[in-house]
Amino acid sequence: MVGTMEDPVITLSGLTKRYGELVAVDHLSLTINRGEIFGLLGPNGAGKSTTILMMLGLSEPSEGTANVCGVNPTREPILVKRKVGYLADDVGFYEDMNAVENLMFTARLNLIPDDEARKEADRLLEQVGLSEAKHKKVGTYSRGMRQRLGLADVLIKRPEVIILDEPTLGLDPEGVKELMQLIRRLSRQEGMTVLLSSHQLHQVQEVCDRVGLFVKGKLLAQGDVGSLAKQLFPDEKVEIRFRLSGSTDELMNQIRGLEQTIDLEFDAKTDEWVMHSHTDITHLVAELAVKNGARLLSLKQHDYGLDEIYLRYFEGGAA
Amino acid sequence: MNKRTFWVIVRKEVADYLHSWRFFILVGIIMLTCLGSLYTALSAISSSAAAADARIEFLFLRLFTVSNGTVPSFLSFITFLGPLLGIGLGFDAINSERNKGTLSRILAQPVPRDYVINAKFVAALAVIGTLFLALGLLVMGLGIIVTGIELSFEEFLRIISYLLMSLVYVAFWLNLAILFSVLFKQPATAALAGIAVWLFFSVFYNMIVELLGNALAPSEVTLESLLNYESIMMFLMRLSPSYLFGEVTTTLLYPTVNTLGSSILASQNEMFMIPDTPLSFLQSLLVSWPQLTAMIAATLICFAISYYIFMRQEIRSRS
């Protein structure tokens, strides 16, 4: 993690948004530090976009406050928008203008001098891989190209923070991977804080330093993906798979006898031992194997939590 | 606030209009009809001038008002087509940007929200104003070349102020269209609503007032009841913006019209010892001042309503 814990860029405290009876965002408190990539994960309709709109001052919170780059976006929306770049989930461009013209319009709205903006537009289009298509009308662009142009559009005003709402929506897996790597590279390069929202847990978790799980307007857990699972399912068992050569029944019994172990079986299909335990005890397994003179060929802890989270909150009834 | 961003948006809007097919279609219609009406006016004038009535005052103004019966005059064309121009340029001002997702992108820039709607209005008005001025000067120029009649300064003033009034009149319809574009998500709905109002006032309103007039007609004919009846009818007619515009233009282009009050009394000029001579330009302007004020007020009311609604709307991407 690049950011330090003492330098919060975005602070939300008790942020609430009601639409009549419906509570879209329910007392959300969250801190995001400088240089961090934070993923706001949640199923559709969890209130992610509403939260983002409130951070930009495009929507007024019913309760609570937001602070973005030291500014209250509800009071001073213009100032916030000078410092924050926002890419909407379904970004629109003027279809009959080309990429450069669209970027130039954004640059002018940010009062960047034309010659400077032109250079910057060229540089950014190069970075997002649109150099070749930059004089084509945006109407001819594919979904992935638009998304990348959107990223360039966000970056042209040199923001301190960029907020991306569902940036991977409608992209194929290859496009998602490219876009996420691009986001990571650009944010590291320009030292920017990134907040991105997504309902695709698997796709974004690898580029995020931290994620927050946001369901029905509430933040259920935050942290890196591993700790997320622990927070959500403290009683969940851990699956450990390992392959041994020269194993003995003695060793197996010892492993079975560990305090944390629930069960241990041999999976003939993959030629692996599969065990379940209450906590991650891979180190104990390795220690025992070495002590008993067996050779440990592979040892991995199965990432149980992520799938569980996905099943319970994203695909299930919560969505 | 920085005004430069405002002009950035205005510039983009004007460029948009000038690049759009819609604008060329509208301009085409108006150009054709104006040239057609100019042609009939010229033939009508030369025949009446040939009728040896050498002392026709303000002959030049007749270019705008006279027709030989086959094609309506310039005046009636503008009264009829002006609203179409306003509606045509305004009906998709806000909702198309919203549907394309560009509105949320603009509003994510450091731009006050009202700049967007103000700039749309100013840009459309600038385009229409330029068009009308060009058209008016064109008709004047052609008139001078073809007829050889001299254009007096007063006539020039009257024509220019007539063009300005037309601009106010079109601005009313433009604002109505912008209001519909804020209210309705679909541009087609907004366009239809605008056209419906236009048709209502230009076709049905007269009929309705006539029907009402039949019902309200006084049973016994005294001067008092007649005058009373007339003032009620006049009030009803003046609720229609095109009637107001008609009154304003009549005083400007027919200098001999010296009152917009009761036509019964006006027909009794001799009785009141009112001389039947043309008014000066300023006097004509004074006669139509209340109508002019009402037109501007209607325009402002439409704008205020759309401004208010637009400022309070929540802008999400494409919804």
Q: What is the pLDDT of residue B220?
A: 79
Reported as type and span, the H/E element at residue B34 is: helix B21-50
Q: Specify the higher pLDDT residue, B198 or A220.
A: B198
Min mean pLDDT across A24-28, A145-149, A152-156, B57-61 is at B57-61
Contact A228, A213 (CB under 8 A): yes
Kindly state whether B319 is in contact with chain A, defined as any CB-CB distance less than 8 angstroms.
no
Kindly state whether B199 is in contact with chain A, defined as any CB-CB distance less than 8 angstroms.
no
CA B92, A107, A182 angle in degrees (round to 5)?
Answer: 100
Question: What's the complex ipTM?
Answer: 0.82
Secondary structure percentages of chain B, helix, strand, coil, to 5: 75, 0, 25
Taking the C-alpha atoms of residue B100 and residue A129, their distance in angstroms, rounded to an integer, is 24
Which of A109, A155, A197 to mutate: most B Cβ within 10 Å?
A: A109
Give the amino acid at B181: S
Beta strands in chain B (DSSP E): none
Exposure string of A216-255, with b = 16+ CB inside 10 Å and e = fewer, is bbebbbbeebeebbeebeeeebbbbbbbbeebeeebbebb
Kindly state whether B123 is in contact with chain A, defined as any CB-CB distance less than 8 angstroms.
no
| A193-198/A161-165 β-pairing | parallel
In terms of Cα–Cα distance, which of B300, B287, B65, B61 is closest to B176? Answer: B300
CA B155, B54, B77 angle in degrees (round to 5)?
Answer: 45
Q: What is the pLDDT of residue B1?
A: 55
CB atoms within 10 A of CB A164: 28
User: Does residue A170 sit in helix, strand or coil?
Assistant: coil
Q: What is the pLDDT of residue B262?
A: 65
Q: How far is CA A129 from CA A124, A137, A144, A207, B59, in A?
A: 8, 16, 11, 20, 67
Q: Across the interface, which of B103, B109, B316 has its CB nearest the CB of A53?
A: B316
Q: Is the pLDDT of residue B278 over 80?
A: no
Taking the C-alpha atoms of residue A100 and residue A104, their distance in angstroms, rounded to an integer, is 6
Give the residue on B whose Cα is nearest the Cα of A79. Answer: B110
Q: Is the CB of A49 less than 8 angstroms away from the CB of B316?
A: yes
Kindly state whether A69 is in contact with chain B, defined as any CB-CB distance less than 8 angstroms.
no
Chain B hits for A53, CB-CB cut-off 8 Å, are: 314, 316
Q: What is the pLDDT of residue A149?
A: 93
Q: What is the pLDDT of residue B170?
A: 93
Rg (CA), chain B: 22
Give the residue on A whose Cα is nearest the Cα of B100. Answer: A92
Q: What is the pLDDT of residue A214?
A: 86
Q: Please give the structure tokens belonging to residue B6.
A: 């405002």
Q: Is the CB of B318 less than 8 angstroms away from the CB of A92?
A: yes
Q: How far is CA A281 from CA A261, B150, B308, in A?
A: 9, 104, 63
Q: Is the CB of B111 less than 8 angstroms away from the CB of A53?
A: no
Taking the C-alpha atoms of residue A240 and residue A288, their distance in angstroms, rounded to an integer, is 14
CA B228, B229, B235 angle in degrees (round to 5)?
Answer: 90
Reported as type and span, the H/E element at residue A221 is: strand A218-223
Which of A105, A112, A155, A165 to mutate: most B Cβ within 10 Å?
A: A105
Per DSSP, A313 falls in state: I
Taking the C-alpha atoms of residue B244 and residue B221, their distance in angstroms, rounded to an integer, is 28
pLDDT, average across residues B217-239? 84
Q: Please give the structure tokens belonging to residue A97.
A: 């203008």
Q: Please give the structure tokens belonging to residue B1.
A: 């606030």
Return the bridge partners of A218, or none: A215
Q: Across the interface, which of B4, B5, B318 has its CB nearest the CB of A90?
A: B318
The confidence band for B223, taking pLDDT boundaries of 50, 70 and 90, is confident
Return the bridge partners of A33, or none: A8
The CA-based diameter of chain B, rounded to the nearest angstrom, is: 69
Q: What is the pLDDT of residue B86?
A: 93
Q: How far is CA A247 from CA A145, A253, A268, B57, in A?
A: 54, 11, 15, 119
Reading phi first (left if > 0) and then psi (alpha if -120 to 50, else beta), residue B113 is in: alpha
Reported as type and span, the H/E element at residue A240 is: strand A238-245
Contact B272, B229 (CB under 8 A): no
Give the amino acid at A143: R
Q: Cβ neighbours of residue A76 under 8 Å, at least 6 residues apart?
A: A57
Q: Rounded to the nearest 5°, which phi and psi values hold at B220?
A: -105, 135
Q: How far is A144 from chain B (nearest CA, A)?
A: 16
User: Does residue A32 sit in helix, strand or coil?
Assistant: strand
pLDDT tens digits, B49-81: 655 454 566 777 877 887 777 778 888 888 888
Q: How far is A184 from chain B (nearest CA, A)?
A: 22
pLDDT tens digits, A262-319: 888 888 888 888 888 877 788 888 888 888 888 888 888 766 556 667 677 766 544 3
pLDDT tens digits, A32-71: 998 899 998 888 888 888 999 999 988 889 999 999 999 9
Q: Is the CB of A95 less than 8 angstroms away from the CB of B105?
A: no
Give the residue on A whose Cα is nearest the Cα of B311. Answer: A58
Q: Rounded to the nearest 5°, which phi and psi values hold at A56?
A: -95, 0
Q: What is the pLDDT of residue B271?
A: 61
Q: Which of A41-45, A212-216, B147-151, B190-194 has the highest mean pLDDT?
A: B190-194
Taking the C-alpha atoms of residue A151 and residue B16, their distance in angstroms, rounded to an integer, is 24
Q: Is the pLDDT of residue B266 over 80?
A: no
Q: Is the CB of A79 less than 8 angstroms away from the CB of B110?
A: yes
Contact A141, A124 (CB under 8 A): no
Report CA torsion sign: B145, B150, B151, B153.
Answer: positive
Give the amino acid at B254: Y
Q: How far is A108 from chain B (nearest CA, A)?
A: 7
CB atoms within 10 A of CB B249: 24
Kindly state whether A141 is in contact with chain B, defined as any CB-CB distance less than 8 angstroms.
no
Chain A hits for B2, CB-CB cut-off 8 Å, are: 111
Q: What is the pLDDT of residue B219?
A: 80
Contact B64, B29 (CB under 8 A): no
